[in-house]
Amino acid sequence: MSNLLSLQVPWTDLRYLFGEIMYGGHITDDWDRRLCRTYLEEYMKAEMLEGELNLAPGFPVPSNSDYKGYHAYIDDVLPPESPYLYGLHPNAEIGFLTATSDNLFKTVLEMQPRDAGGGEGGGGTREEKVKQVLDEILEKLPDDFNVQEMMARCEDRNPYVVVAFQECERMSMLTSEMRRSLRELDLGLKGELTITADMEDLSNALFFDHVPGSWERRAYPSMATLAAWFSDLLLRIKELESWTSDFCLPNVVWLSGFFNPQSFLTAIEQSMARKNEWPLDKMTLSVDVTKKNKEDFNSPPREGAYVHGLFMEGARWDTQTGMIADSRLKELTPNMPVVFIKAIPVDKQETKNVYECPVYKTRQRGPTYVWNFFLKTKENPAKWTLAGVALLLSA
């Protein structure tokens, strides 16, 4: 480092060397690389050498010293570990501790004896509980969508209708597997079929309130328990039934209700491209956060779509200023108002005073990435990058 500075290498080159080559070259996720680059931009600059930079709140850059001196400085001066040290909101620690507690209790539950009977106040045997959950799901599970019949009665197959067909097909694949596996397990519990390993796995999942693996592989990413997951599934089916009754775009689209939300966002671009004869690869999405809720809209927009079902993590949306603002304590994932999304040419995208916010399907992030929305901010966008601000389709 000192050798590089003695050569008077520009700070931008130094940051690129560390953030994109020496260390950043090992980062496979683009958003992780952006975080790494932002840390370097915030802390690797000329103020480091002048002693005027805080590496963390209450932790200024130390004066020149030797190796032991720096260690002593860190031991004596570094504040207690907290989210503030990393640019995060205290809510981040609340979320981490909550997830840790959930995993702990989940592990304790799974360690209980499998042959535990109901006993006094136990609520029945293990098989009786599994049978109860099984019957309840089969009773409430609607019939599969008849996609062929829907395609026969629909003449205008615009991009939105194609998305509806695709969603119905995937939903039918999921509900068909649910119905098949549950009926098979039911016969196994009655002694009419031999219990297989797959049936045992399904039984365990129903007992522990987990989404069975064979369902997860055909479903959408979710971190919910089985009960919450099934309630959400029924809402998704109801939404699709309403949409496919006349194939008119809903006034406000539930973006979180899609297996593949990217396909709907792409359909917005395709519709605008056809209407205006624009090249699809030269288009992007423009996002305008409204001040209204779903119930306030009586019709869809003439172009684009209104969407709801988004949550913000790491910050909140201030409807008064129309910008991103700091989170309120204990509000981990506040709801977003209805968002108006339309397609525009790439060169018309506003890039000043905006934060490029990633959208994910769940809090897991990573493989659940959907899109990136440009949201207005009066703060330095680096603040929200360090705070891990993102939009989620499932809180």
Give the CATH number for residue 227. 1.20.1270.280
Same domain, 382 and 268: yes
Same domain, 216 and 313: no
* Strand-strand pairing, 369-376 and 305-308: unpaired
Residue 75 lies in a domain: yes
Prediction pTM value: 0.88
pLDDT surpassing 50 at residue 117: no
CB-based contacts of 297, cutoff 8 Å, min separation 6: 251, 252, 306, 338
Residue 117 lies in a domain: no
**Confidence at residue 114, expressed as pLDDT on a 0 to 100 scale:** 64
Q: Is 17 helix (H, G, I), strand (E, B) or coil?
A: helix
Other C-beta atoms within 10 Å of 63: how many?
Answer: 8
CB-based contacts of 173, cutoff 8 Å, min separation 6: 218
Arithmetic mean of pLDDT, 283-287: 93
Same domain, 372 and 262: yes
Residue 224 lies in a domain: yes
pLDDT surpassing 90 at residue 54: no
Domain limits for position 288: 252-394
Domain boundary among the residues 217, 248, 279 is at 248
Residue 97 lies in a domain: no
Domain boundary among the residues 248, 279, 312 is at 248
Same domain, 288 and 343: yes
Same domain, 133 and 243: yes
Same domain, 277 and 317: yes
Residue 369 lies in a domain: yes
Residue 242 lies in a domain: yes
Q: Residue 317: which of 347, 355, 350 has the closest Cα?
A: 355
CB-based contacts of 186, cutoff 8 Å, min separation 6: 131, 134, 135, 138
Residue 5 lies in a domain: no
Percent of the chain with pLDDT over 70: 94
**Confidence at residue 229, expressed as pLDDT on a 0 to 100 scale:** 97
Half-sphere exposure of 153 (CA within 13 A, CB side): 8
Other C-beta atoms within 10 Å of 45: how many?
Answer: 15
**Confidence at residue 165, expressed as pLDDT on a 0 to 100 scale:** 94
pLDDT surpassing 90 at residue 53: no
Phi (first) and psi of residue 328, to 5 degrees = -95, 145
First-last CA distance in the chain: 43
Other C-beta atoms within 10 Å of 38: how many?
Answer: 20
CA dist 47 and 43 (Å) reads 8
Same domain, 179 and 293: no
Domain boundary among the residues 248, 275, 292 is at 248
Half-sphere exposure of 156 (CA within 13 A, CB side): 8
Same domain, 237 and 326: no
Q: pLDDT-based confidence at 9, cuts 50/70/90?
A: low
Same domain, 203 and 265: no
DSSP per residue, 161-199: HHHHHHHHHHHHHHHHHHHHHHHHHHHHHTTSS---HHH
Q: Of the given ranges (148-152, 173-177, 287-291), which has the lowest mean pLDDT?
A: 148-152
Report the number of distinct structural domains present in the chain. Answer: 3
CA dist 74 and 51 (Å) reads 15
Indicate the average pLDDT of the chain.
89
CATH of the domain at 311: 3.10.490.20
Same domain, 390 and 289: yes
Same domain, 56 and 157: no
pLDDT surpassing 60 at residue 312: yes
Residue 2 lies in a domain: no
**Confidence at residue 234, expressed as pLDDT on a 0 to 100 scale:** 97
CA dist 331 and 358 (Å) reads 20
Q: Residue 310: which of 265, 354, 267, 350 has the closest Cα?
A: 265
Arithmetic mean of pLDDT, 188-197: 91
Arithmetic mean of pLDDT, 293-317: 94
Other C-beta atoms within 10 Å of 60: how many?
Answer: 13
Same domain, 131 and 230: yes
